[in-house]
Amino acid sequence: MSLPDFAASCALKRTDEGAFDWFVPEGWLQGRGAWGGLVVAAHVNAAEAEQLLADPSRRIRNVSAHLFGPLPPGEATVTTTCLRAGSAMTTWQVSITGSDGQLASQAIVIAGAPRPVDERWGIAQMPNLPNWKGLPSAPVRPPIGPEFGAYFDYRPVVGIPGAQDEPKALGWLSPVGEWSQWTAGTALGIVDAWWPASYVSMAAVRPMGTVSFSAHLLVDPSTVKSEEPLAYEAWVSTTDDGFTSETRRLWAPDGRLVVENHQAIVVIK
């Protein structure tokens, strides 16, 4: 398996202006529905397809998605609406309805043109990790993990589920196999592939699900090397009544912050 499997699995077929068909494949389930990262990637792909027609100089910058319920395998409908096209930024609304006729998710996707700002600032720094080549891969697939985990290579450094340690994680993450290039959809989707950092603090793993998802794409994904994995870090800020607030980051090996992601993740039972 390779990234084209990931990319092909969230590829859309245009049927009309602002409308796409998506065949949600088997093999990508997380619980009763499609893995959230695949759903996020489909939202982004729809907005990006519309943006390329409207103004290709504006690339995807941010996605904020709400996942209302499980998206079953099979035919799904993806619809887009341009909420606003300003002088340098476009806002898209994307909705996905499953084969069961239920609205499964909705997202706001922001595309923006480069701004004339030469300065760069920020305090975030890539964590110090051992070289990925010397770390073993961790099998994340049934019966110990979700079935979509077979499409990715996990090399954890900190944060093993059930360790009853601090709720944080560090490691390296990449799609399995050889592939050509990162896209906005694959970069923003793969940040969801790691297990919740809450699992590190739990004595026993319990079912959890993402309620809301917001991610910033901070580089042109085509400038990130496809032959190397991304560094992954995550931590839980706090929990309340089984609702958790988790921050995730993906770093290019050259030290650039690629994606920053905030999720509300709930303990299902």
pLDDT, tens digit, 9 for 90 and up, residues 11-24: 999 999 999 999 99
pLDDT category of residue 257 using cuts at 50, 70 and 90: very high
> Is the entire prediction scored with pTM above 0.75?
yes
Q: Is the pLDDT of residue 1 over 60?
A: no
Task: Quickly list DSSP for 164-223.
Answer: -S-SEEEEEEEESS------HHHHHHHTT-SPPTHHHH-SS---EEEEEEEEEE-S-GGG
Using left for φ > 0, alpha for ψ between -120 and 50, and beta otherwise, residue 261 falls in beta
Q: Look over the chain and give the mean of its residue pLDDT values, rounded to a whole number.
A: 93
H or E element that contains 259: strand 257-267
Pairing of strands 19-24, 74-85: antiparallel
Contacts of 160 (CB under 8 A, 6+ apart): 200
What pLDDT score was predicted for residue 4? 45
Q: CA 186, CA 221: separation in Å to the nearest integer?
A: 9
Tokens of 115: 């701004």
What pLDDT score was predicted for residue 44? 98
Tokens of 29: 């389930």
**Closest CA relative to residue 79, chosen from 6, 9, 7, 12:** 12
pLDDT digits (tens, 9 = 90+) for 144-188: 889 999 999 999 999 999 888 999 999 999 988 767 789 999 999
Q: CA 128, CA 143: separation in Å to the nearest integer?
A: 32
**Closest CA relative to residue 111, chosen from 86, 134, 90:** 90
**Which residue reads 């100089």 in tokens?**
57
Tokens of 227: 């032959």
Which residue has better confidence, 127 or 6?
127
Q: Is the pLDDT of residue 59 over 50?
A: yes
* CATH 2.40.160.210 matches 3-114+131-267: yes
What pLDDT score was predicted for residue 3? 42
What pLDDT score was predicted for residue 205? 84
Alpha helices (H) in 22-171, listed in sequence order = 36-54
Going from N- to C-terminal start, the domains of the chain cover 3-114+131-267
pLDDT digits (tens, 9 = 90+) for 72-115: 999 999 999 999 999 999 999 999 999 999 999 999 999 999 98
